[in-house]
Structure 1
């Protein structure tokens, strides 16, 4: 059981490292910390594997939501396509904010 929890936490940590935006990183970190805290709380309250897994799942969900909600909002980015067909990401221009003025 401890091996399974450790493997799940390592996998979550590895996936959190693949996040590309601060919000994704914060969500992954929140889910990881929430899963750990939930697993510990579930084990302390229920004392069996089922309680530990329920606690870990609940903690991961709550931690992910809180991490996402507390992430700083940066500048909005938009995707553009150049005349050559290349797609790139850049800050949105003023037309983006004019109620769909594209």
Structure 2
């Protein structure tokens, strides 16, 4: 099952890697994808650090 998941993720990555007609479109879709994929873990880690008092903003 794990091997199949890895194969599907790699296939989707290769299929969607260069979507877009020009460089601007590819950059925009790449940025949006990065924000969606990285946003949730960033929010969780940020909330964990902010909630513990490890990071203080004055």
Which TM-score bucket, shorter chain as reference?
A: 0.3 to 0.5
Q: TM-score, normalised by structure 2?
A: 0.43
Q: Which structure shows the bigger proportion of residues in helix conformation?
A: 2
- The structure having more radius of gyration, on CA atoms, is 1
Structure with the larger RCO, 1 or 2 (CA within 8 Å, 6+ apart) = 1
Q: Which structure shows the bigger proportion of residues in strand conformation?
A: 1
